[in-house]
Amino acid sequence: MTTTPRFLAACRREPVDRPPVWLMRQAGRYMAEYRAVREKAGSFMNLCRTPEWCIEVTLQPIRRFGFDAAILFSDILIPAEAMGAEVSFVAGEGPRIGNPVRDEAGVDALRCPEPEEACPFVYETIRGLRSELDAETPLITFVAAPWTLMCYLVEGGGSKHFERTKTLLMGRPDLAKRLLDKIVAYSARHAAAGLRAGAQALQLFDTWAELLAPADYAGWALPAANEVFRRVRAEVGPEPPFIYFSKGSAGQLPVLGAVEADVVSIDWRLDLARARRELGESKALQGNLDPLALLAGPEATRERTRAVLEAGGGRGHIVNLGHGILPQTPLESVDALLETVRGGTP
């Protein structure tokens, strides 16, 4: 008899023996095995472009911790590169785009290539992973939500206020619209290609949703994310669940229910029980342990994980962090989190 993996069951709000758990950025610098591969690769982009290494680092946290889902090792800026952005990572500074998009010519220059031709290594990684992972461990693929990718493309890197991006949106809405449309088109193709290659769920990362006033979020970011979901759904059919992660979404809660995803992933600043009340029973929830809790040690992690389990209410809840795991996280805290989730449902 085959049973649905608990991660996929929870995405569909079907009953599960216990809530599934995985962690955003679960493959990363907090693991010595990752740091070893990362060093061999030289640069982060070189790591992202090499299927053999991407497969290895995706599997490392599965082997070590047995998470209920694997997430493709890649980056949200890989599709940006396929569109024509010159992407690099500067140590200690994060991503950098050498040719930021700030005018008509910049928008016109962006391409919408065939994903399998532009970044074959991504789909090769996915196919390789499907043959390595067991039937209990579904593979998640991801893209940035259009607004978040727009932030990096326009700003040219990380930023506190993303002033160039927000002033483009407010001062040149015509150009912002054309840019978002192009991002939507390629992101949807990239995501659909990942699902066709064998990934079983899709997560959109809307890290910078928190920068927008509710009206701009409802008018720009949310419709663009929904357009990606719609296009991918039309291409891949009803099966794979869609997850929407937005950081700082408490302010967006009144309109968040309109997101066309099966699962809403929230950060620690929004209470899970409140999100459940306001979003209703139609969506599963993912989150929302503060990644800093793990730095406070195993005991604090256990206590706060118990609170997350309780607020999540069991059914239709996927345990995760509110944002990516930090490089300085002790492995014992990850063990403590997992023991708590596996030890007993609320």
Residues forming the site for ligand CP3 (CB under 6 A): 24-29, 38, 44, 71, 73, 75-77, 94-95, 142, 158, 205, 207, 324
Let me know: does 285 contact 264? Beta carbons within 8 Å: yes
**Beta carbon nearer to ligand CP3, 179 or 276:** 179
Query: How far apart (Å, rounded) are the C-alpha atoms in residues 102 and 313?
Result: 45
**Beta carbon nearer to ligand CP3, 28 or 128:** 28
| Active-site entry in 75, 206, 262, 290 | 75
Let me know: does 294 contact 287? Beta carbons within 8 Å: no
**Beta carbon nearer to ligand CP3, 44 or 121:** 44
| Active-site entry in 30, 123, 152, 217 | 152
> What are the structure tokens assigned to 79, written together?
């599709």
Q: What is the DSSP string of 36-76?
A: HHHHHH-SHHHHHT-HHHHHHHHHHHHHHH--S-EE----T
Give the shortest CB-2-to-ligand CP3 separation in angstroms.
Answer: 27
| Active-site entry in 6, 13, 18, 25 | 25
3-state secondary structure of 257: coil
Instruction: Give me the residue whose beta carbon is nearest to ligand CP3.
Output: 207
For strands 87-90 and 94-97, give the pairing.
Answer: antiparallel
152 an active-site residue?
Answer: yes
**Beta carbon nearer to ligand CP3, 191 or 276:** 191
Give the shortest CB-157-to-ligand CP3 separation in angstroms.
Answer: 9
Give the shortest CB-85-to-ligand CP3 separation in angstroms.
Answer: 12
CB atoms < 10 A from the CB of 200, how many? 21
For strands 263-265 and 242-246, give the pairing.
Answer: parallel
25 an active-site residue?
Answer: yes
Of 51, 113, 104, which is closest to residue 82 (Cα–Cα)? 113
**Beta carbon nearer to ligand CP3, 94 or 173:** 94
Q: Using the structure block, give the residue that is written with the tokens 């140590």.
A: 91
Give the shortest CB-94-to-ligand CP3 separation in angstroms.
Answer: 4
230 an active-site residue?
Answer: no
| Active-site entry in 29, 233, 269, 315 | 29
Give the shortest CB-289-to-ligand CP3 separation in angstroms.
Answer: 15
DSSP state for residue 98 in the 8-state scheme:
S
| Active-site entry in 13, 38, 102, 304 | 38
Active-site amino acid positions: 25, 29, 38, 75, 152
